[in-house]
Structure 1
Protein backbone atom coordinates (compact mmCIF):
# COMPACT_ATOMS: atom_id res chain seq x y z
CA UNK A 1 0.00 0.00 0.00
CA UNK A 2 1.44 3.34 -1.00
CA UNK A 3 1.69 6.34 1.29
CA UNK A 4 -1.11 8.03 -0.65
CA UNK A 5 -3.38 4.98 -0.31
CA UNK A 6 -2.67 4.84 3.43
CA UNK A 7 -3.52 8.54 3.81
CA UNK A 8 -6.75 8.05 1.86
CA UNK A 9 -7.67 5.08 4.04
CA UNK A 10 -7.06 7.10 7.21
CA UNK A 11 -9.15 9.95 5.79
CA UNK A 12 -12.03 7.60 5.03
CA UNK A 13 -11.87 6.16 8.56
CA UNK A 14 -11.79 9.64 10.10
CA UNK A 15 -14.78 10.76 8.00
CA UNK A 16 -16.71 7.65 9.00
CA UNK A 17 -16.02 8.30 12.70
CA UNK A 18 -17.01 11.98 12.43
CA UNK A 19 -20.24 11.01 10.68
CA UNK A 20 -21.06 8.42 13.35
CA UNK A 21 -20.57 11.05 16.06
CA UNK A 22 -22.69 13.55 14.13
CA UNK A 23 -25.59 11.11 13.90
CA UNK A 24 -25.57 10.78 17.70
CA UNK A 25 -26.64 14.43 18.10
CA UNK A 26 -29.88 14.72 20.05
CA UNK A 27 -29.41 11.34 21.72
CA UNK A 28 -28.09 10.47 25.18
CA UNK A 29 -25.02 8.90 23.48
CA UNK A 30 -23.89 12.23 22.00
CA UNK A 31 -20.64 13.64 23.40
CA UNK A 32 -19.76 17.03 21.96
CA UNK A 33 -16.07 16.60 22.83
CA UNK A 34 -15.92 13.24 21.04
CA UNK A 35 -17.56 14.83 18.01
CA UNK A 36 -15.08 17.72 18.04
CA UNK A 37 -12.15 15.28 18.31
CA UNK A 38 -13.51 13.28 15.37
CA UNK A 39 -13.89 16.42 13.25
CA UNK A 40 -10.35 17.53 14.11
CA UNK A 41 -8.99 14.07 13.25
CA UNK A 42 -10.82 14.26 9.92
CA UNK A 43 -9.29 17.68 9.21
CA UNK A 44 -5.78 16.42 9.97
CA UNK A 45 -6.30 13.32 7.84
CA UNK A 46 -7.53 15.48 4.96
CA UNK A 47 -4.40 17.63 5.21
CA UNK A 48 -2.20 14.54 5.21
CA UNK A 49 -4.01 13.15 2.17
CA UNK A 50 -3.46 16.30 0.10
CA UNK A 51 -0.78 15.96 -2.53
CA UNK A 52 2.37 17.82 -1.52
CA UNK A 53 4.41 19.89 -3.91
CA UNK A 54 8.08 19.34 -3.76
Structure 2
Protein backbone atom coordinates (compact mmCIF):
# COMPACT_ATOMS: atom_id res chain seq x y z
CA UNK A 1 0.00 0.00 0.00
CA UNK A 2 2.73 2.42 -0.87
CA UNK A 3 2.21 5.40 -3.08
CA UNK A 4 4.74 6.43 -5.67
CA UNK A 5 6.34 9.07 -3.45
CA UNK A 6 6.32 7.10 -0.20
CA UNK A 7 9.71 5.63 0.64
CA UNK A 8 10.35 2.16 1.95
CA UNK A 9 11.61 3.67 5.22
CA UNK A 10 8.34 5.58 5.66
CA UNK A 11 6.39 2.40 5.00
CA UNK A 12 8.45 0.51 7.60
CA UNK A 13 7.89 3.29 10.12
CA UNK A 14 4.13 3.27 9.54
CA UNK A 15 3.97 -0.50 9.98
CA UNK A 16 6.18 -0.38 13.09
CA UNK A 17 3.93 2.29 14.58
CA UNK A 18 0.84 0.17 13.94
CA UNK A 19 2.44 -2.87 15.59
CA UNK A 20 3.63 -0.87 18.60
CA UNK A 21 0.16 0.62 19.04
CA UNK A 22 -1.47 -2.82 18.77
CA UNK A 23 0.84 -4.14 21.49
CA UNK A 24 0.12 -1.11 23.69
CA UNK A 25 -3.62 -1.64 23.27
CA UNK A 26 -3.22 -5.13 24.76
CA UNK A 27 -1.97 -3.65 28.04
CA UNK A 28 -4.11 -4.80 30.95
CA UNK A 29 -5.28 -7.93 29.15
CA UNK A 30 -3.98 -11.50 29.37
CA UNK A 31 -2.62 -11.10 25.80
CA UNK A 32 -0.20 -8.33 26.82
CA UNK A 33 3.47 -9.28 26.60
CA UNK A 34 5.76 -6.49 27.84
CA UNK A 35 8.71 -7.93 25.91
CA UNK A 36 6.75 -7.89 22.65
CA UNK A 37 5.79 -4.28 23.34
CA UNK A 38 9.42 -3.35 24.03
CA UNK A 39 10.53 -5.02 20.79
CA UNK A 40 7.82 -3.20 18.83
CA UNK A 41 8.80 0.17 20.33
CA UNK A 42 12.49 -0.48 19.60
CA UNK A 43 11.69 -1.43 16.00
CA UNK A 44 9.62 1.75 15.66
CA UNK A 45 12.53 3.84 17.01
CA UNK A 46 14.97 2.27 14.55
CA UNK A 47 12.55 2.79 11.66
CA UNK A 48 12.20 6.47 12.62
CA UNK A 49 15.98 6.85 12.73
CA UNK A 50 16.29 5.24 9.29
CA UNK A 51 13.69 7.63 7.88
CA UNK A 52 15.47 10.65 9.38
CA UNK A 53 18.78 9.46 7.94
CA UNK A 54 17.16 9.08 4.52
CA UNK A 55 15.83 12.64 4.46
CA UNK A 56 18.46 15.31 3.88
CA UNK A 57 18.45 18.35 6.12
CA UNK A 58 16.75 16.70 9.09
CA UNK A 59 18.34 15.64 12.33
- Per the TM superposition, whether the score is higher than 0.5 is yes
The runs of at least 4 consecutive aligned structure 1 residues that moved more than 2 Å come to none
Instruction: Looking at secondary structure, tell me which structure has more helix per residue.
Output: 1
In structure 1, stretches of 5+ residues that fail to align are none
In structure 2, stretches of 5+ residues that fail to align are none
Q: What do the CA deviations read for 1:18-49 (whole angstroms, capped 9, x no partner)?
A: 00000000000000000000000000000000
Higher relative contact order (CA 8 A, sep 6+): 1
Q: Count how many residue pairs are aligned between Structure 1 and Structure 2.
A: 52
- Aligned-residue Cα RMSD (Å) equals 1.7
